[in-house]
Amino acid sequence: MALPKLNTPTYELILPSTGKAVKYRPFLVKEHKILLTMSEADDNETSRIIRELVDVCTFKELKVSSLPHFDIEYIFMNLRAKSISEKVNVIVTCDCGNKIDTSFSIDDLSIEKDPSHSNKIMLTDNVGIEMSYPNISDVISIIDSNDADKIMNLVESCIKGIFDSENYWEGANQTKEEISDFINSLTKEQFDKIENFFVTAPKIVQNIECECPECGKLNKARLEGLHNFFV
């Protein structure tokens, strides 16, 4: 006689990039086992695991590989909340050197959106570029990296198109060399506008306040992005 099948609960969240409602379910035991391997995984493996878990737990209804990184991060943190715990333990280091054990609730996470942010950037009065958001693989690959080539490759890969008052050139239709030459021809001021696109892009944030038991100072910490949160 076949064993009974259990019903898995489903939940709903709002995708930060589009405002669209997305249904998801928690990790199953087999997926939680995969999650445990992340601590020993390299960057490529980590991003693959995150993408696959998000894909299967949202019933494969999203094009996960093309989602902005902040969408993936937000979904993944909600999966963690429903699958493991809404409470996340973190360590805040006080100026006195004491390490403070504290925690926050994933329900308190917010998506920070800069009102000045735009994916269309005017470089001159007539010429501009349209940007796309990096995916989770791109973001993980440059975390804590000072590799100028990696950073430049990320910028180039996020150029969706280049336009003037009469024409629009799809980034995907240009060679890597053509895009690279275009970027290298920019002034520092023009490139700073592109950099500001990444700085002001939507992000997961959590502000934490905790008092140091050793010196009594009120510490304020800000966590940003998936890499700052313990999984």
How many whole angstroms separate alpha carbon 206 and alpha carbon 110?
7
pLDDT tens, residue by residue, 192-215:
999 999 999 999 899 999 999 999
pLDDT tens, residue by residue, 87-120:
988 899 999 999 999 999 988 888 898 999 999 9
pLDDT of res. 115: 92
Residue ranges of the alpha helices (H) in the chain? 29-35, 43-57, 69-83, 136-142, 148-157, 176-184, 188-199
pLDDT of res. 230: 41
pLDDT at residue 54 is higher than 90: yes
pLDDT of res. 144: 61
Predicted structure pTM score: 0.84
| Domain residue ranges in the chain | 11-87, 89-109+202-228, 120-199
Instruction: Give which of 140, 180, 141, 136 is closest to 157, Cα–Cα.
Output: 180
Q: What is the largest CA-CA distance in the chain?
A: 74
pLDDT tens, residue by residue, 126-159:
999 999 999 888 887 776 666 788 889 999 999 9
